[in-house]
Structure 1
């Protein structure tokens, strides 16, 4: 189904409209091999990407690095207690533990990740520290927590009263099966703080004024997952991939299917072959359908891509996948991604 573009009423960002000097300094559109490059730009998954993009834009509009922008951006939903799928306040696993996954990748191919991390509100910042301070790419579980605490992160209880209440209700039936856009169906948003429940993973991709790309991806994973389950979000090549010569991609939805197709890497490689971001995302979605056609009808998986020219696009299995865009032309654009079903 073809998606529709729509504008959200400008709110908090109205005060951040650039002055003429800032506009010129940030080099909105410059020529690159006879093509115009839309930079800086940041895109991110789901409705809560609008607020996340605002934080990233504060860095990008001043000529800051894409890497700094994506970290700052995804920290917003990580600390939003009204978001039960990312960071603090995320729904726990079936044993009542909140475990977080995240990864980050820069323009040089450097990357860091954490998985099954407990007690730390901002896993994306721990992932960046893994990238910058260790010879490794990923730390998990107790080792990731030990590393975070040794580097000054504060240990805290991530299980909010709202999440604990939802878990207790789930225990009555213990039904565990993926549901398309599950968060909208699990929550009674009218009774929750801010009435802002959206969907799962936030993946963010940014292109800065120097023409460099970076990406970040962070989640609390499937609600009431099996203890120890890790999805695609912290896995480089699955939940996120960046190639500065081509573009970047991120994924959202049922991580197991993204992992099976190495989805984000696939999207970037398809862009390398000449496909536009939307078309590359669509091909990745169709690979999932070819492998598991019956499963694909029951789950949601979406891909979001940004190429080195600042072009963006998305595609998903089911309708309802949205992504947010922020550049010099619009601060809070929300786009309905196209879908198969």
Structure 2
């Protein structure tokens, strides 16, 4: 996986240089510096964010809204069976069931979420329907499924042969121990700033592989996995959700930006807060990305290995997030 990520990163950087849009991104763990009022721009977690950003950019470059962009963007990994941590093809829980979590938030603080949703390939679109068509913020389980079906979503089997095979191999020992930076809880979170200067965000995942049936992480929880404040900025999280929930991590990042911190520094301070509350972080990975109203962005994580994708007018970059260790 690391080789693949390195290849994508080098290719993306090369494309940027050839297009004449020189930016010093961090192939060495640094941060990308942006000019003020850098918009539109989209940023998302992990290397599967490259393809997701491309779809979002099609919306943004045509003067579409940040909300439409983030929904379109994260639908790409949701529908890709080769992305084993999001949507269709995601790793199942220990009972062999694929359960999905997602949330979305717009410039006006409207938000919608679904959790423990089964049989629906695009939970982010169901979350948007919750936001726009109900008086609620979150629907879960059978209620979320019934709602999705009532809105015309198709019921499907989300357990692919590859994920089923891996689950059956896991059953031989049934050992549950998340492995950091490996395809285990690589949520996709996406943040966008559109040409009008408005922000939106989306977050979607199949959760930790082989989790207990019914487990829900941070990804569908507004304030934990995602938070947007159109006056300040937006943030989203990836990694082990329990640690993010305890600190209401994405809200914390946005509040730190409100205090005047840059996106990268806000992410770093939030990561340090999480570390301060843990007895041992050797096997714990949490990463944040953030985007402010000027289009400045950054990311930070506990351990080396987390990266994030960015696309703006100057091109595409895959950036290694700075890390505490």
TM, length-normalised to structure 1: 0.86
**1:79-228, aligned counterparts within 5 Å?**
79-183=79-183, 200-228=186-214
> In the comparison of the two structures, how many residue pairs are matched?
301
> What residue number does 1:336 align with?
320
Corresponding position of 2:73: 73
For 1:93 and 1:52, how far apart are their aligned partners in 2?
25
Structure 1 residue 182: Cα displacement: 2.9
Q: Deviations over 1:15-41 (max 9, x none)?
A: xx9xxxxxxxxxxxxxxxxx8300000
> Which of 277, 281, 297 is the equivalent residue of 2:267?
281
Per-residue CA deviations over 1:121-175 (Å, capped at 9, x if unaligned) read 0000000000000000000000000000000000000000000000000000000
Name the CA distance, whole Å, in 2 between partners of 1:229 and 1:83: 20
The alignment yields a C-alpha RMSD, in angstroms, of 1.7
1:308 & 1:43 partners in 2: Cα distance?
13
- 1:71-94: per-residue Cα shift (whole Å, max 9, x none)? 000000000010110000000000
Instruction: Give the 3-state SS of the residue equivalent to 2:36 in structure 1.
Output: strand
Q: Distance in 1 between matches of 2:84 and 2:170?
A: 14
Query: In structure 2, how many angstroms separate the alpha carbons of the residues matched to 1:66 and 1:276?
Result: 21
- Provide the residue aligned with 1:310 in structure 2: 295
Question: How much does 1:10 deviate?
Answer: 4.9
Provide the secondary structure at the position in 2 that maps to 1:275.
coil
CA distance in structure 1 between the aligned counterparts of 2:178 and 2:284, rounded to whole angstroms = 6
Give the whole-Å Cα distance in 2 for the aligned partners of 1:273 and 1:65: 27
Matching residue within 8, 11, 14 for 1:9: 11
Gaps of 5+ in 2: 1-5, 20-34
The Cα of 1:298 is off from its aligned counterpart by 1.4
How far did 1:297 drift?
Answer: 2.2
1:200 shift after superposition: 1.1
Q: Which deviations, in whole Å up to 9, do the C-alpha atoms of 1:310-330 show, x marking residues without a partner?
A: 000000001010000000011
The 8 Å contact of residues 285 and 302 in structure 1, kept in 2 or not, is answered as yes
1:291 matched to 2:277: yes
Change (3 A) 1:10 1:264: closer
Gaps of 5+ in 1: 18-34, 187-198
Q: Equivalents in 1 of 2:108, 2:10: separation in Å?
A: 34
Taking the aligned partners of 1:81 and 1:237, their CA distance within structure 2 comes to 28
Q: Distance in 2 between matches of 1:127 and 1:213?
A: 17
Residue matched to 2:240 = 254
Partner of residue 231, structure 1 = 217
* Separation in structure 2 between the aligned mates of residue 221 and residue 8 of structure 1, nearest angstrom: 29
Contact 1:297–1:317 (8 Å) recurs in 2: no
- Alignment TM-score, normalising by the size of structure 2: 0.90
Q: How does 1:33-48 map to 2 (within 5 A)?
A: 36-48=36-48
Q: CA deviation at 1:293?
A: 3.6
Q: CA deviation at 1:7?
A: 4.9
